[in-house]
Amino acid sequence: MTNEATTYDAAIVGAGPAGLAAARELSSRGARVVILDEQARPGGQIMRQRPAEFAEDGWLSGGLYRKLKALLREVESLRELDWSMSTTVLGVADADGDEGFVLTAVRADESLTFRAKTVLCCNGCYERPAVFPGAVKPGVMGAGAVQTLLKSQKIVAGDAIFFAGAHPFQLLVAAQIAQAGGRIAGVAFAQSRLRVLSILKEPWLLVSHWRVFATAFGNLVRLRRAGVPLYFGYAMKEAIGANRVETVILQPVDSGGRARTRAPTKRVDADLLAMSYAFEASSELARQVGAQSRWSELSGGWVATHSQLMESSVPGLFVAGEVTGVAGADASLVEGCLAGLGMAVALGSIDAEEAARCAAPHRRRLRNLLRFAQYLARLAAVPAQLFETMAGASAVVCRCEGVTRADIAEALAGNAQISTANSLKLFTRAGMGLCQGRLCYANAAAQMAAQRGARVETLGPFQAQWPARPVSIASLIAAGDEDCVASRTTKIRKPCR
Amino acid sequence: MNRYDVLVIGGGLIGCASACYLARRGLRVFLAEKNDLNSLASGQNAGSLHFQLEHRLIEHGDALAAQFAQVLPLNAYASRLWAGLEEDLGASLGVRMDGGLMLAATDEETELLHKKQALESKSGIDTRMLKGAALRACAPYLGEDVRAASFLATEGSANPRLVTLAYARAAAKAGAGVYAGCEVAALSRGGGVWRADLIGANAPAARICADNVLNAAGAFAGRAALLAHLHLPVMPVPLMMCVTDRAPPAIPHLVQRAGARLSMKQARDGNIIIGGGWPARFRTANGTPDFSRRPKLIHSNVARNLALAVQAAPLVAQRRLLRCWTGVVGVTPDQLPYLGAVSKSSGFYAAVGGSGFTLGPAYASLMAELIATGETSLDISAYDPARLSSVNGFMEGAA
Amino acid sequence: MRGKRVDGASGRGKPIEVRLNGQPVEAYEGETVLALLILHGERAGAPERGPFCNMGVCHDCLVTLSHSDQAHPREARACLTAATDGMSVFIGPGGRR
Ligand SMILES: Cc1cc2nc3c(=O)[nH]c(=O)nc-3n(C[C@H](O)[C@H](O)[C@H](O)COP(=O)(O)OP(=O)(O)OC[C@H]3O[C@@H](n4cnc5c(N)ncnc54)[C@H](O)[C@@H]3O)c2cc1C
Ligand code: FES
């Protein structure tokens, strides 16, 4: 199916829970919607689907995923929806003079342009790597990466997998790996056992979120039974090995995350280290258009601000899901519903009163979910001094450009006038590589804040620039043959099943 | 206490370099920058060190080209400064002077190169025409469309990310007060001195006094001049730049095109930086341009700029575009810089316009000389802001 | 082999022919190039680093791919690329840097 120069009512970037929920809401009101996502199939990170060629047996079984899967299947079956999967969105810009927005994108090295009256940025979050010696070695991955390899590819990514972090998420992944027959070399939490278990002391939370707790508790028990060593109050000290990780060394830390120098370190052999310290909101696409953001220490760094119906500070540009603060799949789904309503209002298909009426139950549910998310975020918060303790001077902060803690310290000490994260980037190259600063921003900014005695929010984010991902120059030039951003013929597919 | 010889407005390359050279001459200098140092054009530019006449200067016919040729002596001066700058400032600045090529891909462009060469040779700039095998031997990376090129051995590039801050460090070392986050909000004159009201998070005092003011406010120099009740017409022009991922070393030269907007060089880190004066677009607020926000990228210009780069060096097509950015450059109506006193009686100077990265160190060095001694070792009368006296004659004395 | 396929070959697509640095490797339709790299203990793009995210962000899984029906090899993120029959995957020199 092709369609030329369509101006969509809504373009949704990100086919996770937020995007799917918004698409359902909008389609039900007759809007012309296109969903774009870099993955080959919809679902987002939490529902990374198996490839169409795989059998689906046992994919995301379990009550936690039931509602999400139902949403996914429902939206996949909507006939009037256009999908552009395997599509990397490079930028969103207001259409000069015209109403609405222009989205630039590439799919399989072909340049694409989409026009839409409203846009929803719900492109999720990513994992924040911790900085410690050996952290960039082959064999160190995010726990989420290890999980998605299992969910989607049915692959256990190592022979002996060690988990280290501060986020309860790693328990879930470890349990899933163990259940799939993988060997877990151990799980280390930076927090004390008491703090991790303090979750049980919140009865109102237990009641409203019993399923999550049942799962978490079940995971703990399952890992214990399988004889998996659990370490509490331990941080990563180093990952060592000749060409890849062979051994992890753990540093005992106190409740503030400071090294307990007299307690002995531990060594554990593992060929894969999965880390899970924190998540970061992927707000750069929204910020590229000029959407305002605010700093949120606990829920993902620079998060996009929004109205009650999820409209950003740029009229017509909506945000939902982790982009507004990392709060989990259920909250993302509800925000997607709200964004769908907000976009319907912007498009004139419903009036504000009806939207408010429809939004009321969602808003109640969101409040409840966000309260839980905040609680979880505090629990999972990295102890104040932890990152500082883990990072040796020679440890690499910016993976792509090889910029170390020492390089940053020296740049700051020698140039008193560097006062923003952007200036630091310009001077040190931290953030100038292929990941475009996504993986180093938080660590570089935290180091700068500590050294300058400033708060991170005063340093600002890295400037969000076009393209949102590095892109093949050959494909851009091919597109430029036709004068300006002429709307190109765009092949839109139904999701392959 | 708060009395200085010179107040420098602007912490870009020209301001920081001026502060450095002024302080080294023993003057008491206060530099005020309202944002971060190097955060506008000086940190956003392409980093070309171009001493051949640029494309924009020769495309408008002979008479204009002859007029523009007036910048050539300044080019020679700047080229000498750059050659010793890393040593002088004791810092790595990514200076690379391995030569520059201006390419011709059509007969008209080749002819343009010959004309340009004639102008340049009069000013002692030694460009060489290259063709055929000699050209390929010099630059094997060039695409087959390229027919000829003029080569100048002293051209090259430097790293805009590093130069301004190195000057700022040198200025501070020489005793200058360099303040980022400090805006000059008002200027007034009385008793033969300038009084400057300062605002901003890092302003060390609410007011300072200075005998002289040096306006180095770049694209916003017009506004800074108005604080002193003087006119300095400087037009902000929004431009864009592209940079690729790191590539193996392949392009040692600065590459420009005679008849099209292209500049290209490979940084020491391997990234290929592509620009050449393609415009971006000002964002608007209530219908008028909003100069306080970063201009908006025009995607079709990105594609055109990259296509020119690929035509010049086909290896670029194999790279990834890593990032684009936009910046604002200040352009004077006659494209010649303002270099000198805007108002001789009151000690209000300007160093603005032209190819401010390539020539910035030269502007700064000459202005320091002028303010400190009253004269310059190079004739800069062609850039004298006195050419604005038709308007400023009315304004003089109003401050 | 490092790590493993859960349930071995069952529940996957048809076996396909893929070469990794010139060597034929076991592969099935639907598998991503990153999955193959991991199973064969290979790093990707930069020699000193390993793939981190499996979601297109880190770019530490860049590989050069060539295919009998394509004129030019192309660079791609292994984690976002499905292996296809007849594909050759190159890592390291000739790939990047
Ligand atoms: C690796 C990982 C594992 C996680 N596992 C769990 C879990 O087990 N349980 C849990 O409760 N929560 C988990 N989370 C959190 C969970 O993913 C989120 O709560 C939920 O998916 C948020 O929904 P969303 O729609 O906001 O974002 P996502 O589901 O992340 O969807 C965003 C989509 O946008 C796409 N995208 C991003 N940038 C672009 C671009 N420039 N162009 C095109 N597409 C783009 C992405 O490919 C992605 O598919 C995980 C998070 C991560 C990062
Ligand atoms: S593994 Fe990070 S981009 Fe592929």
Task: List Cα–Cα distances, A390 to A165, A190, A396, B120, C58, in angstroms.
Answer: 11, 11, 12, 59, 21
- pLDDT tier at A62, thresholds 50, 70, 90: confident
Nearest to B104 by CA among B260, B290, B331: B260
Does CATH place domain C14-95 in 3.10.20.30?
yes
Per 3-state DSSP, what percentage of chain C is helix, strand, and coil (rounded to 5)? 10, 25, 65
d(CA B135, nearest CA chain A) in Å: 25
Tokens coding B360 = 């910035």
Amino acid type, A202: E
Decide if pLDDT at A175 tops 50: yes
The answer to whether C67 and C33 have CB atoms below 8 angstroms apart is no
Contacts of B43 in chain A (CB under 8 A): 426
Q: Look at residue B389 and tell me whether its pLDDT is greater than 80.
A: no
How far, CA to CA in Å, does A140 sit from each of A387, A395, A446, B94?
17, 14, 22, 34
pLDDT tens column, A125-135: 999 999 999 99
Same domain, A163 and A289: no
Write out pLDDT tens, residues A344-365.
999 999 999 999 999 999 999 9
pLDDT digits (tens, 9 = 90+) for A437-462: 999 999 999 999 999 999 999 999 99
Q: What average pLDDT does the segment C46-68 reach?
A: 88
**Ligand 1 site, residue A13, Cβ cutoff 6 A:** yes
Q: Considering the domain boundaries, does residue A464 fall inside one?
A: no
Asked if the C-beta of A435 comes within 8 angstroms of chain B's C-beta atoms, the answer is no
What distance in Å separates the CA atoms of residue A230 and residue A250, rounded to the nearest whole number?
12
Residue A88 touches chain C, beta carbons under 8 Å = yes
Which of A24, A45, A127, A370 has most ligand 1 atoms within 8 Å of CB, for mutation?
A45
Tell me the residue range of the domain where A141 lies.
129-277
- pLDDT in the model for residue B347: 92
Among C59, C75, C96, the mutation site with the greatest number of ligand 2 atoms within 8 A of its Cβ is C59
Same domain, A353 and A372: yes
pLDDT at position B115 is 87
pLDDT over 90 for what percent of chain A?
A: 75
Judged by CB atoms closer than 8 Å, whether chains meet at B320 and C97 is answered as: no
Claim to verify: residue A250 and residue A166 sit in the same structural domain: yes
Same structural domain, A105 and A197: no
Which CA distances in Å does B201 have to A452, A470, B10, B168, B180?
15, 36, 16, 19, 9
Domain assignment of residue A2, yes or no: no
Which of A205-209, A328-332, A410-414, A492-496 is predicted least confidently? A492-496
Task: Say which residue, B201 or B343, is predicted with more confidence.
Answer: B201
Tell me the pLDDT tens digit for each residue of B132-185.
999 999 999 999 999 999 999 999 999 999 999 999 999 999 999 999 999 999
Q: Which of A225, A243, A277 is the last residue of a domain?
A: A277
How far does Cα A326 stand from its chain's mean position?
A: 8
- Please indicate, yes or no, whether residues A81 and A109 belong to a single structural domain of this protein: yes
**pLDDT tens-digit profile of A1-58?**
324 368 999 999 999 999 999 999 999 999 999 999 999 999 999 999 999 999 988 8
What pLDDT, on the 0 to 100 scale, is given for residue A97? 67
Asked if residue A95 and residue A27 are part of one domain, the reply reads yes
Q: B56 pLDDT band (50/70/90 cuts)?
A: low
How many CB atoms lie under 10 A from the CB of residue C24?
Answer: 10
What's the CATH code of the domain at A220? Answer: 3.50.50.60
CA C16 to ligand 1 centroid distance, Å: 30
- Tell me the mean pLDDT in the region A168-195: 91
Q: Is the pLDDT of residue A398 over 70?
A: yes
Query: Is residue A118 assigned to a domain?
Result: yes
- pLDDT of A72 above 80: yes
Question: In this structure, which amino acid lies at residue B27?
Answer: L
Which residues on neighbouring strands pair with residue B246, listed in sequence order? B271
Q: How confident is the model at residue A482 (pLDDT cuts 50, 70, 90)?
A: very low
Residue showing tokens 């000086």: B42
Residues of chain A contacting residue B163, judged by C-beta atoms under 8 Å apart: none
Average pLDDT over residues A279-302: 95
**A134 and A269 share a domain?**
yes
Residues B3-23 have pLDDT tens digits of: 999 999 999 999 999 999 999
- Position in ligand 1 atom list of the atom nearest CA A147: 3
Pull the structure tokens for residue C86: 């007849």
Does the Cβ of A300 fall within 6 Å of ligand 1?
no
Q: How far apart are CA A322 and CA C25, in angstroms?
A: 38
Q: Supply the residue whose CA is at minimum distance from atom 33 of ligand 1.
A: A14
CATH number of A410's domain? 1.10.10.1100
Contacts with B208 (C-beta within 8 Å, 6 or more apart), sequence order: B2, B3, B4, B7, B30, B195, B196, B198
* ipTM of predicted complex: 0.94
Show which of A277, A311, A328 is a domain's final residue.
A277
CA separation for the pair C18, C66 (Å, rounded):
10
Residues of chain A neighbouring B297 (CB-CB closer than 8 A): 91, 93, 466
**What does the pLDDT read at residue A63?**
77
Statement: residue A205 has pLDDT above 90: no
In this model, does residue B103 exceed pLDDT 60?
A: yes
Structural contact between residues B341 and B349, judged by C-beta atoms closer than 8 angstroms? yes
**Mutate which of C16, C34, C37, C59 to test chain A, going by most A C-beta atoms within 10 A?**
C59
Give the closest of A156, A243, A439 to C3, CB-based.
A156
Average of per-residue pLDDT across A93-110: 88
In this predicted structure, the answer to whether residue A488 has a pLDDT above a threshold of 90 is no
* pLDDT at residue number B293: 85
Question: At which of A277, A307, A334 does a domain end?
Answer: A277
What's the confidence (pLDDT) of residue B64? 59
Residues A267 and A148 in one domain: yes
Do A471 and B180 lie within an 8 Å CB cutoff?
no
Per DSSP, the three-state class of A264 is: coil
Q: What is the pLDDT of residue A486?
A: 31
DSSP H helix total and E strand total for chain B: 13, 20
Atom of ligand 2 nearest to the CA of C62: 4
Across residues A164-187, what is the average pLDDT? 92
Percent of chain B with pLDDT over 90: 78
Calculate how far, in angstroms, residue A86's C-alpha sits from the geometric centre of ligand 2: 14
Q: How many angstroms separate the CA atoms of A100 and B262, rounded?
A: 32
pLDDT over 90, % of chain C: 62
Can you give the pLDDT at residue A484?
A: 33
Single pTM value for the model: 0.90
Which of C2, C5, C31 has the CB atom closest to A159's CB atom? C2
* Residue A290 and residue A340 share a domain: yes
Please identify which residue in the block is written with the tokens 């400090």. Answer: B182
Query: Which of B244, B245, B246, B319 is the best mutation test for C, with the most CBs of C within 10 A?
Result: B245
Q: Which residue's alpha carbon is at the smallest distance from atom 22 of ligand 1?
A: A329
Calculate how far, in angstroms, residue B341's C-alpha sits from the geometric centre of ligand 2: 57
Nearest to A159 among C3, C56, C82 (CB): C3
> What would the mean pLDDT of A289-308 be, rounded to a whole number?
95
Interchain proximity B248–C75, CB inside 8 Å: no
The answer to whether A462 and B314 have CB atoms below 8 angstroms apart is no
Strands A33-36 and A125-128: unpaired
**What type of residue is C56?**
G
Q: Are C75 and C64 in contact (CB under 8 A)?
A: yes
Note whether A396 and A434 are same-domain residues: yes
Q: What percent of chain A has pLDDT over 70?
A: 92
Cα of A381 to ligand 1 centre, how many Å?
20
pLDDT at B359 over 60: yes
Q: Do A474 and B318 touch (CB under 8 A)?
A: yes
Q: Are residues A120 and A156 in the same domain?
A: no
Q: Does the residue A486 lie in any domain? A: no
Residue whose structure tokens are 């630059």: B139
What CA–CA distance (Å, rounded) separates B194 from B212? 7
Report which ligand 1 atom has the smallest distance to the Cα of A328. 19
Give a yes or no: residue A408 inside a domain. yes
Q: Which amino acid is at A464?
A: A
Q: Which pLDDT value is given to residue A478?
A: 79
Query: Mean pLDDT across chain B, nearest whole number?
Result: 92
Reported as a single tens digit per residue, the pLDDT across B246-285 is 999 999 999 999 999 999 999 989 999 999 999 999 988 8
Among the residue ranges A92-96, B362-366, B373-377, C21-25, the one predicted with the least confidence is A92-96
H/E stretch holding A175 reads: helix A169-179
Per DSSP bridges, beta strands A87-94 and A82-84 are unpaired
Residue A495 covered by a domain: no
Report the number of distinct structural domains present in chain A: 3
pLDDT in tens, A226-281: 899 999 999 999 999 988 999 999 999 999 999 999 999 999 999 999 999 999 99
Closest-lying ligand to the alpha carbon of C52?
A: 2
A211 and A172 inside one domain: yes
pLDDT value at position C71? 67
Max Cα distance, chain B (Å): 68
- Average pLDDT taken over every residue of chain A: 90
